[in-house]
Structure formats: C-alpha cells, structure tokens
C-alpha cells in the first residue's frame, strides 16, 4: 500500500478568498511506516490530518492510495482504507470497552450490525494486542485518559484499514505512557504492515521513535527520516527564535537556562 501526496494545499474554502494553511506538501509513504507530524501550535497539523482522511477537501493537489485519488472513493470504501481517531470527544462513554472497539467493524457488518465470527476474532485480537482484555467489560467513562486513548486506537485497529490517522494520541498522558503508546504504534505499523500517521507535540519522542517525520512550518513542509531532516536543518527551522534550539549531537530540542 502506497500513500502519495502530490502538491497538496490544505486550508479552508471561503467566499472571497481561500484560507491556505500550508502549501506544496508532497511525499510518498508505505505500509510499515510510523509517520509523526510535527510543528508549532496553529500551524495546521489537524487540518492536514483531516484532509488526509478525506474529511475535508484539499484546496489543491491530491491524496492517493495505490494510485487512486481518495476523492473518488465512496464513504464506505474510504472507511475500509483509512481509520481516524481525532481529538473530538466520543459521542457516548456509556459503552463498554469491548462495545466501543466493536464499532470499528461497522464497515464490514450487515445493515443490522451483526458481528460475524471473523469480526469477533478481530476484536479479540485487538483487545489482546493493546492489553485491554482485563478491562473489556468496563464502562468507558470509568477509564483513565490513557486507557481511553488505547480503546480509541483499538477501535481504529479493529477497522482493519491499511492507513490509521491519529490526532494527538499522546495528549493528557504522562511521559511513561507517551513512550509506551508510541512504541505500541510502532509495533502495530511494523508487525501488521499498517501506515500510521499521527500529529504530536512530543517532538523529541517522535524523532527517536518514528521512521519518518513531516515537519510543518510557515514556509511549507518537509518530509523524510529523522536523520535526513536533522542533516538538512529542517528541524531547526521549527523554532527560529533563540529560546529553543535543536542540538544535532543529542538529536533533541533544548533551551538555554535562565541566567
């Protein structure tokens, strides 16, 4: 599976003049990649992910899967290609963990929503992979932020799409759980041959754990491996002021201590 972006311009359609958030995004990525989308607040990371998922149209350019523009896919076909976890609150937390994950099988069920043996097997596999078996009968409003985030990822994983898109999956998590979650995503990408693309403010962790990064800034976007982006100074351009700087030796952002 190959995801290809060609001269993608993202933003919002307006009556008099379109609002362009980022222009000229171009790259290809394949199954097995874990791609972190990084940039400063308000740079357009969520807008990019929504465009990538087909939830809003691009202003220019295209998003294609194996050569097919996603704009030509029906909602049902698209739901079998791309699964999405946004930062929007879920409609109800009164479902159990298992019930919420089961919703990921909707693109494959009949009009009654009947789960087949294959659906049940897939749900069991997801519960096991994300270590949710012990809490599968708990109501979602009883869960911690970290547990609920894993459940939402489980729903996307149960959808069994080649592409999984996540907006800020490490939000509200402490450092240990951030690392654990990103490692789980890396394992899912490599072992299940999924392309996982997620936005994050945890830039230092993304540099260490992602196979590729999309760096968004006011001048556009750069895509590549963390090492390649370090070498061409793309990471330093994220924060051009002198309060925060990128240290190539440690491969991390740091700041000058107060005098």
94 and 155 assigned to the same domain: yes
User: Which residues have CB under 8 Å from 201's CB, separation 6+?
Assistant: 38, 41, 168
Backbone phi, psi, residue 144, to 5°: -75, 170
Residues 123 and 112 in one domain: yes
Same domain, 108 and 135: yes
The residue from 107, 138, 160 where one domain ends is 160
Q: 6 with 68: CB under 8 angstroms?
A: no
Backbone angles phi, psi at 33, to 5 degrees: -85, 140
> Domain containing 116: what range?
87-160
Mean pLDDT of 189-214: 95
**Lowest mean pLDDT segment, chosen from 15-24, 28-37, 55-64, 124-133:** 15-24
133 plus 27 within the same structural domain: no
User: Cα separation of 248 and 174, whole Å?
Assistant: 26
Task: Check residue 242 and give its pLDDT.
Answer: 66
Q: What is the model's pLDDT at position 240?
A: 67
> In this predicted model, what pLDDT tens digit does every residue of 59-90 receive, in sequence order?
999 999 999 999 999 999 999 999 999 987 77
Among 234, 183, 239, CA closest to 211: 183
Considering the domain architecture, whether residues 29 and 113 belong to the same structural domain is answered as no
Span 192-218, average pLDDT: 94
Full-prediction pTM beyond 0.85? yes
Which of 14-23, 115-124, 217-226 is the least confident region? 14-23
Minimum mean pLDDT range among 4-18, 118-132, 157-171, 228-242? 228-242
Residue 27's domain is classified under what CATH number? 3.40.50.300
Contact 156/85 with Cβ under 8 angstroms? yes
Same domain, 38 and 77: yes
123 and 145 in a common domain: yes
Domains identified in the chain, total number: 2
Task: Pull the structure tokens for residue 129.
Answer: 């992979």
Lowest-pLDDT range of 45-49, 140-144, 152-156, 221-225: 140-144
Residue 6's CB: how many other CB atoms inside 10 A?
15
Residue 179: Cβ within 10 Å count = 16
Q: Residue 77: its pLDDT value, please?
A: 93
Return the pLDDT at 92: 74
Instruction: Decide which of 135, 160, 185 is a domain's last residue.
Output: 160
Contacts of 214 (CB under 8 A, 6+ apart): 25, 27, 35, 36, 37, 38, 48, 197, 221, 222, 223
Is pLDDT at 171 greater than 90 in this prediction? Answer: no
Share of the chain above pLDDT 90, in %: 68
- Average of per-residue pLDDT across 166-190: 92
Task: Indicate whether 95 and 221 sit together in one domain.
Answer: no
113-117: average pLDDT: 86
Confidence of residue 145 (pLDDT cuts 50, 70, 90): confident
227-240 tens-digit pLDDT: 999 988 888 878 76
User: Which of 12-21, 196-205, 214-223 has the lowest average pLDDT?
Assistant: 12-21
Check whether 173 has a pLDDT greater than 70: yes
């Amino acid at each position: 599976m190959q995801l290809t972006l060609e001269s993608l311009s993202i933003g919002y359609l307006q009556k008099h003049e379109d609002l362009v958030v980022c222009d000229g995004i171009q790259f290809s990525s394949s199954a097995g990649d874990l791609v972190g989308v990084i940039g400063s607040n308000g740079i357009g990371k969520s807008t990019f992910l929504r465009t990538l998922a087909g939830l809003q149209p691009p202003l220019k350019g295209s998003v294609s899967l194996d050569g097919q523009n996603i704009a030509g896919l029906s909602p049902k076909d698209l739901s079998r290609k791309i699964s999405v976890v946004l930062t929007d609150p879920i409609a109800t937390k009164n479902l159990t963990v298992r019930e919420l994950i089961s919703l990921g099988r909707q693109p494959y069920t009949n009009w009654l929503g009947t789960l087949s043996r294959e659906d049940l097997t897939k749900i069991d596999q997801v519960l096991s992979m994300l270590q949710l078996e012990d809490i599968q009968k708990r109501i979602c409003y009883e869960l911690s932020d970290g547990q609920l985030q894993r459940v939402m990822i489980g729903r996307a994983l149960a959808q069994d799409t080649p592409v999984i898109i996540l907006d800020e999956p490490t939000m509200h998590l402490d450092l240990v759980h951030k690392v654990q979650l990103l490692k789980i995503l890396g394992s899912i990408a490599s072992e299940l041959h999924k392309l996982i693309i997620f936005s994050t403010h945890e830039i230092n962790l993304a540099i260490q754990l992602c196979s590729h990064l999309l760096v968004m800034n006011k001048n556009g976007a750069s895509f590549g491996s963390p090492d390649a982006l370090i070498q061409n100074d793309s990471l330093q351009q994220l924060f051009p002021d002198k309060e925060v700087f990128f240290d190539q030796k440690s491969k991390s952002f740091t700041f000058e201590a107060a005098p």
